[in-house]
Chains A and B, each alone.
Chain A
């Protein structure tokens, strides 16, 4: 399969709680990116983490990368209703292809 795996596939949490999504991949990478996609819309780039970085923050987002385990996590703190969307990790592979994981559908409950 050309895709990585993400878990959970779907996640529902109460507004204000933290949401954690995980991503695993198979091949060596240059960097890993996380994107958000609202239903039926295009992609919004959230954050990029390079293969030599272990953690990165951007506002309420925190991304970790463990290249030894070939995995990454995205944490959204203090979730809001507007965070409801699908979240995808995308690996920038050594063959210059961007390959997407299967995604996590996040639903923030009011």
Chain B
């Protein structure tokens, strides 16, 4: 089945630094990828929709200058948390949309736990 690899699975960084999270579709091309954020004991909140070759679409309240999304190829989207602060500590999960003719499906990465100290 379709596999999405998300890396790193865990990262600890200092306040003020930037962190890049990668989301790769391993055996399919994903024209659309989604980035979610999850705080402890809460649900997944959609942050942005990443489209290959174009600018990401951000959900209301998500700072696009803080959460930079790049989808430069059909198999890779990256989320960069810039100038990270402790309140950015969270679980980030990506999802990739695979389209085959009229069929489509979504596959989720295993998530990245970001801790900002």
Measured CB to CB, the residues of A under 8 A from B are: 2-3, 33, 35, 40-43, 45, 88, 92, 96-103, 105
Contacts and interface: CB of A to CB of B under 8 A. Distances in A.
Interface of B: 32, 34, 36, 41-46, 49, 59, 91, 93, 95, 97, 106, 108-111, 113
A98 B46 contact: yes
The 6 A-B residue pairs with the shortest CB-CB distance, nearest first, are A42-B110, A100-B44, A42-B111, A43-B108, A102-B43, A100-B43
Most buried by A among B34, B41, B42, B44: B44
Given A2-B59, A96-B32, A98-B95, A40 B44 contact: no
B4 to A, nearest CB: 10
A102 B95 contact: no
B110 A41 contact: yes
Contacts of B106: 33, 92, 98
A103 B46 contact: no
Given A42-B109, A98-B34, A2 B41 contact: no
A98 B105 CA distance: 11
B43 A103 contact: yes
Contacts of A98: 34, 46, 95, 106
B43 A97 contact: no
Contacts of A45: 108
B101 to A, nearest CB: 15
Nearest to B110: A42
